[in-house]
Amino acid sequence: MTKPKRIFIVGHTGAGKFLLSEALAKRLGWELIDANPGLERYIGRSLREIFGEQGEEAFHSCEAEIISHYIGKEHVVVLLEEAVIATKENRKLLSSEFVIYLKVSTPVQLERMKGGRIPLLPIADMKAFLDKQHAERDHLFEEVATLTIDSVSVEDDVNKIIKALEE
């Protein structure tokens, strides 16, 4: 594998994407780009519920522009929005890039949200909301991933990535 010029980080809320992206960028000496507005996370509804169908399309089109922009950059670690993999266009753009899927389970997500590190969503059944997102998106994250990490710790995860980059 040719050493990538940029790395995209994807995964669900509570996976630790920001902490991993920050540590990885620092270790590589690369720039960290946080392109994750986390709308679903903060509002507690799907993008379609937030924007309506046309608004959701516009949002995903904006994500495609962001991905396209950073595909032209080098030495960047780009943290992406959880819903970025919802469209074929975005998955196609990511398919030729080095993408890390930081995998997390619903119980881990709930535990991390309980600790206050992630704002609680204003929804009645958080477990059902997160389980639905897993059912809809896990296979899409896997589809675009160059490397899937079952998170252990930030340090261990960064070491796994560095090892994969060197192979």
Which positions make up the binding site for ATP?
14-19, 117
| Feature table: binding site | 14-19, 117, 137
Which amino acids are annotated as binding site for substrate, given as ranges?
Answer: 137
**Which amino acid appears at position 65 of this protein?**
E
d(CA 133, CA 123): 14
Tokens matching residue 39? 């709308």
